[in-house]
Structure 1
Amino acid sequence: MLRSRAARLTLLSVAIVLVVALVATVVAAFVVVRRPLPQVEGTLRVPGLQAPVTVTRDARGIPTITADSAADLFRAQGYVAAQDRFFEMDYRRHVVAGRLSELVGENEDALDADKVIRTFGWHRIAQQELEILEPATREALEAYAAGVNAYLDGKAPSQIAVEYTVLGLQVQIEAPEPWDAVDSLAWLKAMAWDLRGNYDDELGRARAFASVRDVAKVDQLFPPYPQALNAPILAEQDLTTATPAIATQPAPDLDDSALQAAVARAQEALEAVPHLMGDGEGVGSNSWVIGGDLTESGKPLLANDPHLGISAPGIWTQVGLRCATVSDACPYDVSGFSFAGFPGVVIGHNADLAWGLTNLGADVTDFFLERVDSTGEATMRGTETAPITTRTEVIKVNGGDDVHLDVRETVHGPIVSDVLDVDAVGDAPVEDGAFGRDYVVALAWTALAPGRTADAVLAMDTARDADDIARVGRLFDVPSQNIVFATTDGHIGYQAPGRVPLRNRVSGDVPSDGTWPRPGWDPAYDWQGYVDPEEMPRVQDPAEGFLVAANQAVTPAGVGPFLTKDWDYGYRAQRIRDVIEAQVVAGEKVTAADVSALQGDERSPYADVLVPALLRLDIDDTFDDDGQELLRTWDHVASEDSAAAAYFAAVWSTLLELAFADDLPDGDSPNGGSRWLEVVRSLLDDPDSPWWDDRSTPGVVEGRDEVLTRAMVTARRELTQQLGRDAEDWRWGRLHVAAPEHPVLGGSSVPGLVRRLVNPEPIEVGGGSSIVDATAWDASAGYGVTAGPSMRMVVDLGDLDSSTWVTFTGSSGHPGSAHYTDQFGPWAAGETFPWPFSPAATAADAVDRLTLEP
């Protein structure tokens, strides 16, 4: 009895010790997580300020900053951004400078990214860019950097962000280095990279050609924009542009294994770059603006929701920037969405004008296939050669040895096929003995020259009318964006900005318009300058009374300057147009609530195209046809609770695999985006097209109906395993989940406790690719959300205080903050929050007040 009691006491003592240790661990973890949270009330001293600055925050932690001077305003913005999101800023600057290994240590993916970005030289270009900006822009960048550094001064890494504490368990973490104006500018290069246009399609054509060996057949996978179905942004524009000279040199021969190997290496290298804003299918945007003649208030309404990759925290920060007295010396009174690490507001409104941005998608990159001579130090240029320049980059690795990288560059740009495997350049046959054995691939990209986009951002913040927006368009070099705008005095308009290359037309089977890689040895393929900014498409107050810019073609075919052939195919844009037009025809005035509801529209154009063809087919088995029965009563709305939407998604992904996987290279499976919708739409009228045939079944030639039937049967069986036997119980949201991850600590290699801290709880959502509620998914990789509306805003130009907004996760970058994810649930539900603007409204909405003093 005594021994038993003693044993129990011993076990109890052990349990108490364990509980105490656990409590101590929990308390310590709580302290570590909460320690970096910012002070949002009272008074703080910020050296360098000329006068006190007020920072109020609303219930979601969104700051409104009020200062007496522009210098104080941007210094305070830098300070507040560092309070809320410095680790995100630090991570980004390491990425865009090719120094990620310096932050995270020995990691193959990080090192590959550093190599490619050092080859691009983003940070070097940003340094050159700083010198050509307006003095006021440089002053804003420097004031912002000073504010960031005032926040960092004297703080240990653990006081700044919990991420440093976690990383410090594996690598040496020093105090962050001071922020610099160039760090802000370099971020613009990352933005331009993720929104660069058609480079994926350009390489995709070359890779597809390696399999099908037929340019015409490749063209079937990249069909022209369907202008008869989906309207461009500007229906009627009288535009003129210079016509480039027509050269007669033959197009390059792409039927060469060494050349194809070089293209493949270039693709591999470029895929190593982290996509800070997202990449691939689903990266686009919706925006539209409706004139006052069509609205209930009699004043314009403007909507914007950029579609970018999902991450934690989300890409945008919300902020209000206000000069206490607006004047020429301090002209800012603006509110909207910015990037942590960059001064000003990127999308939003001021007291006179609202604007939205969507990706124009102009073709601003070209891959040049270069022939290297026998010395390895020059490339062929006509009958001459041009030198290859070389520089050495030193990549520091936290806890490891430095890596030395030799970067080679041709007259067209950096050699990207060198980056990951310099020694693997393939041999190419030599016909005349004049050249060596190497093909390499160089990248020409407009963002690899200094530009003035930073000037454009701050000019946008103070724009008042169409003339101001036109000036912004002349400054906004990269990335090329559609700008829609509206003014409080009743005007609406559109402006296409951007530095867009002019290209010669060269005869041959392969187009010379930038849709295919170009032969660098033939000067006829060189860029011939850039489109004159005055010739870029624009309009004010169109007769139709509204404008929709959602990544579709800008102008009717053949009108205006050549921008690209690789547009989004316009199904999403056309749905927005159709809804607005239906309301106008019905004589109903449009309200801000109508616009918000349209942002959440989930009708699927895929279903509109494909379901009629699926329902014409017979499925004999009563079990296999359960999914097809769902389609018979489906309203084609991909809502989160729709069984039919889940089934249709499975049919779509299976159909793409059955029809195309056997013809395309490994890793090039269709992602299911709008291009593939247009491909399949065209093939539905050609039941015996060779694309329907599965080449992996020798002796059997499949046609359209057989492939569609097999897709339906396969999808039914797949979902039976995933979601259960009863088709009526299926739900699209169970497959289609938004699960943002932290860029450094969110992966599976990180302990579960940390992942749960930094990764928001996944949420089931509706919507999908090419749907207005554009929660994109990759049909070759599952149903999870890969990109989506990174924010939503609706601006009411009749009453700015009645505007609404929401961002993807929250205003804070600290996982321990209540504002890290407090907008994620409302975002998923299609809800938005009031967006007060006037001094009285923002004061009434404030829950915290902080004074920054000199």
Structure 2
Amino acid sequence: MLRRTRRVFLIVLGSVCGLAAVLALALTFTLRGSLPRLDGERVLPGVQAPVTVTRDSLGIPHIQAANRLDATRTLGYVHAQDRFFQMDLQRRGAAGELAALLGTALVSTDRQVRIHRFRDVARRVVSSMPARHLDLLDAYTAGVNAGLADLPVRPFEYLALRRQPEPWLMEDTILTICAMFLDLDYSTATTEKMNAMVADILPGPLADYLLTPAAHWDAPVQDGPPYPVAIPDASEVDLRAWTTDSPATTTEGEPIPTADTAGSNSWAVAGSLTAHGGALLANDMHLSLGLPNIWYRARVSWPDSDGTRSLVGTTLPGNPGLVTGSNGDVAWGLTVAYADALDLVRLEMDPADSTRYRTPDGWQTINRLPEVITVAGADPDTLWVRQTRWGPVWSQDAGGAPLVLRWSAHDIEAVNLGSLDIETTHNVDEAVLAAAGAGIPTLNFVCADRAGNIAWTITGRLPKRHGWDGRLPVSWADGSCGWTGYRDPGGVPKILRPAEGLLWTANNRVAGGEDLRMIGDGGFGLGARAQQIRDGLRAMDRPAEADMLALQLDDRALFLNEWRLFALAAVADDTTASRREFARLLREDWDGHASVASAGYRLVRAFSYQLIDKVYRGLTGPVWSSHDEFEGKWLSSRHAITWELVHIRPPHLLPPVFFTSWDELILAAVDGAMDLATADGRAAADWTWGRRNIVDISHPFLNFMPQLRRWLAAPAQALPGDGHMPRVQHQRHGASQRMVVSPGREKQGIFHMPGGQSGHPLSPYFLAGHEDWVSGRASGLLPGTAVHRLVLVPDGN
């Protein structure tokens, strides 16, 4: 009986295992059916001549076409084959249509975005587009849909969601530009709102002091009038008279404030200074990290009147243009400029009618526009957008007055495909003019040309303000303040062929004087990173490509070393055991870098943030007490102002509710850092930076399929780097690519990025090249030897 039972059990087990194996094979076969086509010959309707797409060992395509339209159509094809789900999320995220795909959890996200009505903006942009751009957009869109249709099985994400992908529309490409506005420009609105809270509640001299960018660590390329505002004296502000009970310590533990993570690096060296006589451009854009990476590498070639035009660099799936890279004559890179291309307008409401607001032309009624949000598996949700002549009602001020968002991203004059014109420029003069007219967010544009010249300007459209500087919300009701269109591309700030032969940007203030007034202050980043880049460039003798990469990977903690020396002086004579251990680790466990093995680095970092938090909570106590939503992290001057105050130690700016002396405050920051380091009985020496800075990059599906980590994530790794140094690195934020190139010398160019080319976990290119990014290896910019060859031919009709 037992034998028979065992035999039956084995037969059943074998059948179950066999069935499981068959199902696993069927699932694998189905999933592999959504992998892109790499070899053979396929029909691509619309191409005028055969197009060759070769791929190297990393899956990087080289598209060789007979003309630009065919090349653009083919780029759309390969984007869709490799990255369609990413493209879909981009367009849906900008349009506020994620819930239609992903369900009720995304309704609130869609509601926040729908007030911009970007789908309507995108349609109007397409309808007014010049023919040279419209033809390229039409070809790209057709290529995307052909690439999607040519997958034997729809992308795996749609199989998991049990949804069908929707065709790509021309307006969807514009939505990818709107998505970049949201990522790179939109934070200025929050900065302005936080600034307004400070200005509305604190005494004027103190508000001016806190809201004016401080000079310490400032590293502009172009000198201008100094920023600093004098410290308010005791007759103007005296915190000793305040009774606010706002918290004096952070609840964030070890914060990485938003303003300390966003950004990028870019610099250029004129040919007169380099080893080979060619200008050098370096660029690494710091963004949120995920799989697949936001960028898609490509080389695209076609013959034109000048010979063969060959573009190489980064593309954005969903968009037909080269974002950064080289065309052989000009190379260019981008960083967030924190220019000010938006404003908050205070509405003056009619006391007798809450639907009317005052304008220079009299009272007008706020329009209520319905935005219907489709929700997968649920009923639609309707958002009523309150629209004014200046833009949508976005929030309200401290007094309850509506705040309207006036933003260039809402205007068809400021959103376009003008960045495509950069691709065919021949020198920095042409490139700067094309960049200034590009309808993209306001970014630092750094470029170099084959003749050895370098230049800088601002992309996007800069508004022409009148009546105020744009830093704080004001009323536009009487016409004394407002916008009068946008600055002409030929009249925006630019630096051509700087005498020093160097340019650098790291989200800091670049320009001064009248140029700075035109750019505005959207919350410039601290200049410490820019300062380290500038000084690194100045120290180089005849640099080449490898030297540029070395600077991109520079993780020296020059900024925090200043705080380290300050902290050591503060505890020099202290005999408290924990403070002595603090000092020992700062001396002995410090190698001058943001090293993964260093506890000293992490302690100094925690000390500096504890100190900044205590000083700023004291200075802005009444604001915290009045506004639950206030966040001091948006005040970009906090590092430099704290540095100034703890050195000068004015007694009238010490928050007496919490501390009786500046020494007490500083030692409290030391104690706070040690409390974090020794939590749960841990030895402070074990509290290394590597235990915190573990980089974890994954596909968005991992959030609800954690059991699939093996397939949906890169290996989690502790990496060096931090915010205020060239090698910016956080857990899910850092360099989205590193590029070094000299125009005309692309074979010597360097490029690597996190993740791989493909968005498909079963593709050999899902993580191909990722380790080069992790280790900082100097992998090539151009695709390598071809290992796949696909020919796309006309349909013959």
Band of TM-score, shorter chain: 0.7 to 0.9
Give SS of 1:221's match.
Answer: helix
Q: Structure 1 residues 18, 733: CA separation in 2 closer, same or farther (over 3 Å shift)? A: farther
> Alignment partner for residue 299 of structure 2, among 316, 320, 329?
320
Out of 454, 457, 470, the residue aligned to residue 495 of structure 1 is 457
* Aligned counterpart in structure 2 of residue 153 of structure 1, from 138, 149, 158: 149
Give the secondary structure class of the aligned counterpart of 2:320: coil
Distance (whole Å) between structure 2 residues aligned to residue 204 and residue 474 of structure 1: 29
Match of 2:533 among 576, 601, 606: 576
1:96 aligned residue (83, 94, 97) = 94
2:191 aligns with 201
CA distance in 1, matches of 2:398, 2:269: 58
CA shift, 1:597, in A, is 0.4
Following superposition, the deviation at residue 489 of structure 1 comes to 1.9
Answer yes or no: is 1:31 the counterpart of 2:29.
yes
On the 8 A contact 1:223/1:678 being kept in 2, the answer is: no
Q: Which residue of 2 aligns with 1:636?
A: 592
2:669 corresponds, among 708, 711, 720, to: 711
Which residues in structure 2 correspond to 1:619-768 (within 5 Å)? 619-633=574-588, 634-661=590-617, 663=621, 664=624, 665-666=627-628, 668-671=630-633, 675-688=637-650, 692-693=654-655, 695=657, 697=658, 701-721=659-679, 724-725=682-683, 727=685, 729-743=686-700, 745-747=701-703, 750-768=704-722
The correspondence for 2:741, drawn from 780, 792, 795, is: 795
What is residue 600 of structure 1 aligned with on the other side?
553
Aligned to 1:252: none
1:230 and 2:218 matched:
yes
Partner of 1:141: 137
User: Is this contact kept in 2: 1:451–1:478, CA < 8 A?
Assistant: no
Q: Shift of the alpha carbon at 1:443?
A: 0.3
Q: Indicate which of 177, 197, 219 corresponds to 2:166.
A: 177
Choose 685-694 or 792-801, whichever is displaced more.
685-694
Given that 2:372 and 2:381 are in contact with CA atoms closer than 8 Å, whether structure 1 keeps it comes out as yes
Q: Counterpart amino acid of 1:234?
A: Q
TM-aligned CA distance change 1:655 to 1:25, over 3 Å: farther
Give distance in 1, aligned partners of 2:755 and 2:85.
16
Q: Once the two structures are superposed, what CA deviation does each residue of 1:609-657 show, in whole Å capped at 9, x if it has no partner?
A: 3112101122423344323222225343112232222222222333344
Q: Provide closer, same or farther for how the CA distance between residues 305 and 333 of structure 1 changes in structure 2, counting only shifts above 3 A.
A: same
Change over 3 Å in CA distance of 1:447–1:73 after alignment to 2? same
Q: Which moved more, 1:380-389 or 1:84-93?
A: 380-389
2:213–2:636 CA contact under 8 A, matched in 1: no
Give me the whole-angstrom Cα distance separating, in 1, the residues matched to 2:328 and 2:196.
Answer: 49
- Superposition deviation, residue 85 in structure 1: 0.1
Out of 518, 534, 544, the position equivalent to 2:474 is 518
> Post-superposition shift, 1:466?
2.6
CA–CA separation in structure 2 for the residues paired with 1:804 and 1:289:
14
Quote the Cα distance in structure 1 between the aligned partners of 2:569 and 2:202.
34
What are structure 1's unaligned runs of at least 5 residues?
238-277, 418-424, 429-437, 506-511, 777-784, 837-841
Report the alpha carbon displacement of residue 165 of structure 1 after superposing the two structures with TM. 1.6
Cα 1:17–1:675, aligned 2, differ >3 Å: closer, same or farther? farther
| Residue aligning to 2:233 | none
Mean Cα deviation higher: 360-369 or 676-685: 676-685
Give the Cα separation in 1 of the matches to 2:379 and 2:28.
Answer: 35
Shift of 1:32: 4.3
**Cα distance in 1, alignment partners of residues 586 and 735 from structure 2:** 27
Superposed, 1:398-477 pairs within 5 Å as 398-417=376-395, 439-451=401-413, 454-477=416-439
Deviations 1:75-126 (A, max 9, x none): 111010001000111111122222111111222xx21232233221112111
> What secondary structure does 1:834 align onto?
coil
Secondary structure of the residue aligned to 1:542 is coil
Matched residue type, 2:670: M
The Cα of 1:30 is off from its aligned counterpart by 3.1
SS of aligned partner of 1:482: strand
Q: Distance in 2 between matches of 1:167 and 1:320?
A: 33
Q: Could you say if the C-alpha distance between residues 69 and 815 of structure 1 is closer, same or farther in structure 2, counting changes exceeding 3 Å?
A: same
Identity within the alignment, %: 30
Could you give the per-residue CA deviations for residues 758-781 of structure 1, whole angstroms, max 9, x where no partner exists?
3333221111112111125xxxxx
Measure, in 2, the Cα distance between the counterparts of 1:558 and 1:121: 34
Looking at structure 2, the residues matched to 333 and 723 of structure 1 have their Cα atoms a distance apart, in angstroms, of 59
Q: 1:17 to 1:620 in 2, by over 3 A?
A: farther
Greater mean alpha carbon deviation, residues 646-655 or residues 547-556: 646-655
Q: Distance in 2 between matches of 1:722 and 1:427?
A: 41
Alpha-carbon contact 2:414-2:460 (below 8 Å) kept? no
**1:367, 1:517 within 8 Å by CA — same for their partners in 2?**
yes
Partners of 2:575 and 2:31 lie apart in 1 by 59
8 Å contact kept, 1:357–1:482: yes
CA distances 1:537-588 after superposition (whole Å, capped 9, x unpaired): 22222110111122222223455643223322321111111111122xxxx2
Secondary structure of the corresponding residue to residue 345 of structure 2: strand
Match for residue 569 of structure 2?
A: 616
Aligned twin of 1:310: 289
d(CA) in 2 for partners of 1:671, 1:735: 20
The separation in 1 between residues aligned to 2:630 and 2:407, in whole angstroms, is: 24
2:224, 2:477 → 1: CA distance?
40
SS in 1 for 2:343: strand
> What is the aligned partner in structure 1 of residue 58 from structure 2?
60
CA shift digits 1:202-230 (9 cap, x unpaired)? 111234457x533433344334241x743
Q: 1:132 to 1:703 in 2, by over 3 A?
A: farther
Using the size of structure 2 for normalisation, the TM-score is 0.88
Secondary structure (helix, strand or coil) at the match of 1:513 reads coil
2:295–2:315 contact (8 Å) kept in structure 1: yes
Structure-1-length-normalised TM-score: 0.82
Cα distance in 1 for partners of 2:480, 2:410 equals 21
Q: 1:222 to 1:6 in 2, by over 3 A?
A: farther
**Pairing partner for 1:345 from 322, 325, 330:** 322
Partner of 2:240: none
In the alignment, which residue of structure 2 is the partner of 1:105? 103
For residue 540 of structure 1, what is the aligned residue in structure 2?
Answer: 496
Unaligned runs of 5+ in 2: 226-256
Cα deviation, residue 827, structure 1: 1.4
Q: CA deviation at 1:713?
A: 2.6
SS at match of 1:852: strand
Go from structure 1 to structure 2 and tell me whether the alpha carbon gap of 1:426 and 1:305 turns closer, same or farther (over 3 Å shift).
closer
The answer to whether the Cα contact below 8 Å between 1:321 and 1:344 also exists between their aligned partners in 2 is no
Please point out which of 115, 121, 134 is paired with 2:111. 115
Give the structure 1 partner of residue 728 of structure 2.
Answer: 774
> What is the rounded CA distance, in whole Å, between the counterparts of 2:732 and 2:189 in structure 1?
19
Q: Are 2:697 and 2:713, in contact at CA under 8 Å, matched by a contact in 1?
A: yes
Conserved? CA contact 1:413–1:443, under 8 Å? yes
- Cα separation, 1, equivalents of 2:316 and 2:276: 32
Partner of 1:213: 202
Return the alpha-carbon distance in structure 2 between the equivalents of residues 797 and 686 of structure 1. 49
1:774-819 Cα distance to aligned partner (Å, 9 max, x none): 125xxxxxxxx34211111000336220101012221111122232
Q: What is the letter of the counterpart of residue 456 of structure 1?
A: G
1:550 corresponding residue in structure 2: 506
Please give the alpha-carbon distance, in whole angstroms, between the structure 2 residues aligned to 1:280 and 1:25.
49
Displacement of 1:601: 0.7
Contact 2:464/2:485 (8 A) holds in 1: yes
Map of 1:556-571 to 2, 5 A cutoff?
Answer: 556-558=512-514, 561-565=517-521, 566-571=523-528
Distance 2:93 2:180 in 1: 12
Cα distance in structure 2, aligned partners of 1:148 and 1:448: 26
Structure 1 segments of 4 or more deviating over 6 A?
425-428
**Cα pair 2:356 2:366 within 8 Å, conserved:** yes
Q: Which amino acid aligns with 1:555?
A: A
After TM superposition, give the deviation of residue 51 of structure 1 in Å: 1.3
Give the letter for the 2:159 counterpart.
T
Aligned to 1:287: 266
Q: Which residue of 2 aligns with 1:393?
A: 371
| Residues 636-695 of structure 1 deviation map (CA, whole Å, 9 limit, x = unaligned) | 311223222222222233334433446335454554996332232222223345665374
